Amino acid sequence: MSRTTKTLRAAALAAAMFAAHGAALAEAPAPSGPLTPDAVIKLAIDHSPSLRAAVVEAKRASLTVTAEDERYLPTLTAGLDYTHSARPSLNGTGVRVSDGDEVTGSVGVAQQFPWGTSIAASLGLSGSVSRYVQPGLPDPISLGPAYGVDLSLSVTQPLLRGNGKVQWESALRAARISQKAARTAEQEAASSTARDVLAAYWDLWYAQEAERIQVQALETAKRRLSDAQAQVDAGARAKFDLLPLRTQVASIDEARVAAQTTVATKRVALERLIGLPLGGGALDVAAAPPAELVAPPVVEEATAAAVAKAYSLASLRASVDQAKVGADVAAERSRIKLDAGAWLQVSGLGNEAIDDAFSQFGAFEAVSGGLSLKLELPIDRTTVESEAATARLAIDTARARLQDAEEKLAQQAAELVATLNAAQSRVSFAQETASLANETLLGQQERFQTGAGTATELVIAEQDEREAVLRVAKARVDVEAARLSLEHLTGGLLAEVAPER
């Protein structure tokens, strides 16, 4: 299985790349020689559009998680501003204009933490010159150049609403839930592809087996008719004895044509699943029958595995988890908003010398700060409380749907176990019937050759023997079909065909 596993993983990766670039897959070349189950699984997963879509969706969900996981990285800011200002004023000599120029540069960093705390820091440098009109003086006073440096720090901490990770990591929780569901959907698509293609494989195997049996029977019937015709020509047998043999040849030939038609239709169905040109007619499967069932499944184990591992339940479980996230967020929104804040600023200013600004800044001569509390309280809480109650009811709805699906899956698993056991019993009974039919046929052939038996008796014995052999083959295919469906339902088929996926 290791070679098959590597092929499956490589095929899935290639499929995702093709889907991401919007390229259409070319039709696969027709295989040479009969196909084995491992070969058709490889071809099917190479071709499967549903699996490609599931792989791409899983990749998209993974990228969403990555984006949400990196949401709380620090944010850097930088700015450079130039300002020219002019201010007219009235004094004893008339209207005079004061003006100034200022250049300011700043860098800052802001950090939002997933538990609600936000911190911001910024460092600014400035330089300015100004001409100021002093009342009573005829000429403006020139100031500067002045150099300034400022460091500002601020912290905000929610005390009630927003305190903790419920609100801030809700999107990340939702993304991780979606990622898990998408990964399970990818596995379900791969398992479903394997189940469908193997079921189609064994349907074609049975159709080819039926055609082979009819062809062999036709050759035997024609040879016996020819021998009987020679005996009639020699006078050793009555001409009437040829009628049952001629009828048999015509009947078998009709069955052979029907079997060929069935082979053609089953071949087309398998060709579609593995991406071969439809109706090519060159597709055949190996002659080996399905492997015999090692041990019959136990109903209790099968139902428990279906409830625990069924892929179809993943989306419903994700719905329950998403509803819980929504309920947590709604409950958080219904809380009173009370935020505490603090800020601190250290400044320095120098006149005509930038060193003076840094000296004052380094000596902490100009330090400002403050504390704040901000309360937000809606007058009417009906809306937020209704939203919280609705979100809690959504959890109950999702859980009820999950429980209903679990019960239905347990029922399906129990029914498949019953079907599988019945098909296995049919194999045993059909094999016994085929053995008895073969003994009867040998006896009738001996009686016909000695003249003690009639052609009609021989024809009936041969028909009974063919039908018994076909029933054995059909029962084996039914066992395999039920086993594949049960393994897919209980999540074991993918582990069987691709253990590392």
Domains of the chain: 2-67+173-321+393-497 (1.20.1600.10), 75-112+117-161+337-376 (no CATH)
Q: What is the pLDDT of residue 25?
A: 37
Q: Which residue from 441, 448, 442 is spatially nearest to 236, judged by alpha carbons?
A: 448
Q: What is the pLDDT of residue 189?
A: 82
For 297, other C-beta atoms within 10 Å of its C-beta total 21
With b meaning 16 or more CB within 10 Å and e meaning fewer, what string describes 362-383? eeeeeeeeeeeeeeeeeeeeee
Q: Which two tokens stand for residue 59?
A: 């990749």
Q: What is the pLDDT of residue 29?
A: 54
At 336, phi and psi to the nearest 5? -70, 140
Hunting for tokens 């596995």 — which residue is that? 187
Residue 84 in contact with residue 48, Cβ under 8 Å? no
At 219, phi and psi to the nearest 5? -60, -45
With b meaning 16 or more CB within 10 Å and e meaning fewer, what string describes 176-204? bbbbbbbbbbbbbbbbbbbbbbbbbbbbb
Residues paired with residue 98 on neighbouring β-strands, in sequence order: 87
Q: What is the pLDDT of residue 226?
A: 85
Q: Which residues contact residue 287 at a Cβ distance below 8 angstroms, ignoring those fewer than 6 apart? A: 34, 205, 208, 209
pLDDT tens track of the chain, all 501 residues?
433 333 334 333 333 333 333 333 344 555 667 888 888 888 877 777 777 777 777 787 788 887 777 777 888 999 999 998 888 776 666 677 777 889 999 999 998 888 888 999 999 999 988 887 666 666 677 777 889 999 999 999 888 888 877 888 788 888 888 888 888 888 888 888 888 888 999 999 999 999 998 898 888 888 878 877 887 777 766 777 778 888 888 988 898 899 889 989 998 988 888 887 887 667 788 888 888 877 788 899 899 988 988 888 888 999 999 999 989 888 888 888 888 999 999 999 888 888 888 888 888 888 999 999 999 887 777 888 888 889 899 999 999 999 999 999 999 999 999 999 998 888 889 889 888 988 888 888 888 777 777 778 888 888 888 888 988 999 999 999 999 999 888 888 877 775 555
Q: What is the pLDDT of residue 501?
A: 53
Distance CA 474, CA 426 (A): 9
Distance CA 141, CA 128 (A): 14
pLDDT tens for 269-284 read 888 888 878 876 677 8
Q: Which residues contact residue 275 at a Cβ distance below 8 angstroms, ignoring those fewer than 6 apart? A: 25, 27, 28, 43, 44, 46, 47
Q: Is the dihedral of CA 156, 160, 163, 167 positive or negative?
A: negative
Question: What's the distance, CA 273 to chain centroid?
Answer: 19
| Cα dihedral value 10, 318, 330, 112, nearest 10 | -20
Residue 157 in contact with residue 117, Cβ under 8 Å? yes
Q: Which two tokens stand for residue 299?
A: 């109903």
